[in-house]
Amino acid sequence: MIKNLLLLLLLGFSLQAAAFQSDTSAYQLQRLKINGLLAERSTRFGQYDQSLDARTGIFGFQTKRDIKNSNEILRQIVLNDNNIFKELKILMDYKDQEVKEVINTANSTNSRIQAYMLSIKKLQDQNQSLKKEAQQLERGKTFYHYIIIFLVLALGGTGYVLLKKLKKI
């Protein structure tokens, strides 16, 4: 019975580990997506620095086209930052969901452990009562054995006395 309980407990933990693994892989994919966006941001920021240094105008001044190009790169950086914030929000939601699942799992595991402990206590109490009954039955057997031995000896003694009287007669 205890083996069955342990088997069920192990099976439950393995199923929860599989569910946790799928959540973790989604979390990891989201992290990779954010890391890609951050790498893209770094690249664009490098392009922005280069565009600020670009001076294609006469006498080494920046032209309108240079400034527009810098502004467009800066706009792309801002859009990328917005995407990063959205993806970070999703990542935080994943993390919050994982925390909730861990808490729920801990609570359900605690309740199952309490139920198992209660079952074990009940079985231990039953085992104790069965041991006491077995001891009482054993004492009863011993008492009956003594009575049977006493009756056999009394019958043997009575038979011996009767035989002696019959021989005298």
Eight-class DSSP state of 56: -
| Residue 76 Cα distances to 29, 40, 73, 109, angstroms | 23, 10, 5, 49
What are the structural domain ranges in the chain?
2-7+22-133
Determine the Cα angle at 104 with ends 115 and 124, to 5°: 10
Q: What's the pLDDT at 5? A: 45
Query: Which pLDDT tens digit goes with each residue over 4-24?
Result: 545 554 555 554 544 445 557
pTM of the predicted protein model: 0.51
pLDDT at 28 over 70: yes
Query: Which pLDDT tens digit goes with each residue over 34-58?
Result: 999 999 999 998 888 888 887 777 7
pLDDT at 143 over 80: yes
